[in-house]
Amino acid sequence: MASSSEPIAAVLARKVSIQAATLQAIIPLLLALLLLLALVLRIWGIQFGLPYAYHVDEITYVSAALNLGAGVIGKQPNPTGFSNILFGEYALFFLLGRLTGLYSSTADFEAAYRSDPSLFLLLGRLTSAFLGTLTVLTVYWTGKAMRDRWTGLIGALFLATAFLHVRDSHYGVPDIAATFLLSLTVLLGVLSIQRSSWRFLALAALSAGLTITTKWSLWLVVTPFALAFFWSVFHNAEASRPALKVGIALASLLAGLLLGGFQLFLQPFTYIEYALREWRSGAAGGFGIWQIDTVSGWIFYLKTLGYGLGVLLAGLAFVGAGLQIIKVPRGWDHIGLLLIVFPLFYFLVMGATRHYFARYALPLIPFAALFAAEAIMALGAWLSARSPGMGRVMVAGLVLVALVQPLAASMRHGVLLTRTDTRTLAKTWIEQNIPEGAKIAVDWPTHGPPLSTPDLAAPYSQRVYDVTIVGGTGLSDHPLEWYRENGFDYLIASSFIYQIPLVLMEQDQGRAAFYASLDHELAGVQEFHATNDGSEPDFIFDEIYGPAISLWERERPGPTIKIFRIASRQTYSPLK
């Protein structure tokens, strides 16, 4: 207790000092808890489907990494940054295996992958999970630089629980890694301005190069980097030796491009041709023959942010982005402009392309988390100026309410991924009830049960079948009579194919009629549903990768699998 003679000012100063010290101790603890929460949500159920790869793109990047180890490049000409990370992990794992006697040669290593790819797939998924968690850290530091530590913490909390980011952090594909590198580039650009540091600028350039080679659609990362480059090198009155710093920055950018995508320099035409083909295949809201959505691109990505962030959080993010746009010209806020330029241009460009995938919204999520935190803190400051206690109450209340939808969705998603996929259930039943060697037609690989064939063994299979993967628009590519004439015993239909609309309406109507006819023309042998009552969950294109909008209708992941027998009308009782 202070003595009666102690000045009031000294007492108040001591109290402020104690509060500051307490806050200094609490912030790291809160940040550590946030990172733990983010990691738990991202690894919950991460073993889904294994040893089978039910995300259609995962095997592409695993194979590219393994082929790189064999000296083969360009066979899978996707963006190379993520597969290069996997190559480093696989190389380290192989060396450890050699030292411990687990593998005696590269042939043993390849045989291990072919017999059970679980570990290889899991390493890719864990890479996404850890980089997704690290993105939470970059958001905290960026929010701290943008406003203060509480803004950073709230933004980090929003990203830690953001459903779309949590969901895609379970997948061993490049999107989360690229989003991390993007957020890191922006953070380093902010630090280069704040500290007038060419070292941070060089690191930002390196990160920008890695970002582009990890996800080509993120080429707009050059916009925040270019602003940081201009202000750090030319606009800073204290800058010295600008020519040297320009050279260092450009060399760092080139180093990032080489490190993440040296394959592009070795076989440029292979990768350019692939990129152009992929770009052209996405048009009119579709991808190739598939119709993803019919709305404009900007509406599509707004809808994606709605379920990917939660409606309230997405609304707060747009309010915060508006505040940033208003604030920038008033004080020519360099950091504010650096933060708004990428998401603004990216949203406008991607919306205009009509190249629709929910994962293309992922780079907007860290910015949305920051802008939502900014909106809440700005509202809290405005209320505190009028009623000191009301500001804190409003901030806490808004944060909690905004968290409800994304946190609940992320947790439900984790629960679903721990349950057996319908495709695995179907595989087990087929091997118990359908004779070996039966001739079976399926829609597509990945979207149906993983059955072993004489040419390609599926892990832990009990029987081998004569399987024809129809591809194209699915089983409807051939009339039913064609299957009879060619001696097929069974047809297996997947809702992950027959529920996706086709771009051509006439073709789509014909396909729908074909699948409807199966129930009348053939014997329905067995069905496997993601719901307990046999109903079809709500469906959008992105459901083929994992549960998205159907979280509360589903009881397990996977499509509806319908098995039809051609030769006989014998039926089986539904599997419970």
The domain boundary, picked from 384, 413, 442, lies at 413
At 126 the pLDDT is 98
- Considering the domain boundaries, does residue 110 fall inside one? no
| Six token digits for residue 161 | 């629980």
Asked if the model's pLDDT at residue 234 lies above 70, the reply is no
Confidence (pLDDT) at 571: 43
pLDDT at 221: 95
Rounded mean pLDDT of 562-568? 85
Answer yes or no: is 246 within a domain: yes
Distance of CA 218 to the CA centre of its chain: 14
Give a yes or no: residue 89 inside a domain: no
Residue among 399, 338, 325, 365 at smallest CA distance from 151: 399
φ, ψ of residue 439 in degrees (nearest 5):
-90, 120
CA angle 395, 397, 401 (to 5 degrees): 120
User: In the predicted model, is pLDDT for residue 305 greater than 80?
Assistant: yes
Structure tokens at 202: 């060089």
- Mean pLDDT over the full length of the chain: 90
| Pair (409, 426) in one structural domain | no
Q: What is the pLDDT of residue 104?
A: 87
d(CA 365, CA 129): 15
Domain that holds residue 465: 422-565
pLDDT digits (tens, 9 = 90+) for 85-106: 999 999 999 999 999 988 888 8
pLDDT for position 245: 76
- So what's the pLDDT on residue 326? 86
Q: Give per-residue pLDDT as tens, 263-281.
A: 999 999 999 998 888 877 7
> Quick one: pLDDT at residue 244?
78
How far is Cα 268 from Cα 77, in angstroms, rounded to an integer? 10
pTM of the predicted model as reported, rounded to 2 decimal places: 0.92
Residue 449 within any structural domain of the chain: yes
Query: Which residues does 195 contact at the CB level (< 8 Å), separation at least 6?
Result: none
Q: What is the mean pLDDT of residues 507-522?
A: 92
List alpha helices for 45-104, DSSP H: 58-69, 81-100
- Give residue 23's pLDDT band: very low, low, confident or very high (50, 70, 90): low
Quote the pLDDT of residue 494: 97
Q: Per the domain annotation, does 70 fall within a domain?
A: no
What pLDDT is stored for residue 324 in this prediction?
87
Instruction: Using the 3D structure, point to which of 353, 380, 413 is the last residue of a domain.
Output: 413
Band of residue 569 on the pLDDT scale cut at 50, 70, 90: very low
Give 235-273 as a DSSP string: I-TT---HHHHHHHHHHHHHHHHHHHHHHHHHSHHHHHH
The H or E element containing residue 563 is strand 561-565
pLDDT at 572: 42
The domain total for the chain is 2
- Token duo for residue 418: 């721990």
Instruction: Report how far residue 122's alpha carbon sits from residue 32's, in angstroms, rounded to the nearest whole number.
Output: 24
Residue 55: inside a domain: no
HEC states along 93-138?
Answer: HHHHHHHHCCCCCHHHHHHHHHHCCHHHHHHHHHHHHHHHHHHHHH
For residue 294, give every residue at least 6 positions away whose Cβ sits within 8 Å of its Cβ, in sequence order, or none.
285
- Among positive and negative, which fits the CA dihedral 233, 238, 241, 245? negative
User: What value does the mean pLDDT take over residues 472-479?
Assistant: 94
Residue 63 lies in a domain: no
Distance separating the N- and C-terminal Cα atoms of the chain: 71
Find the mean pLDDT for residues 557-561.
97
For residues 409 and 428, state if they share a domain.
no
User: Does one domain contain both 508 and 380?
Assistant: no
Cis omega (within 30 of 0) on the bond before 51?
A: yes
Considering only residues 10 and 172, tell me which one the structure prediction assigns the higher pLDDT: 172
516 and 406, same domain (yes or no): no
Give the model's pLDDT for residue 143.
94
Residue 64 lies in a domain: no
- Tell which of 380, 413, 446 closes a domain: 413
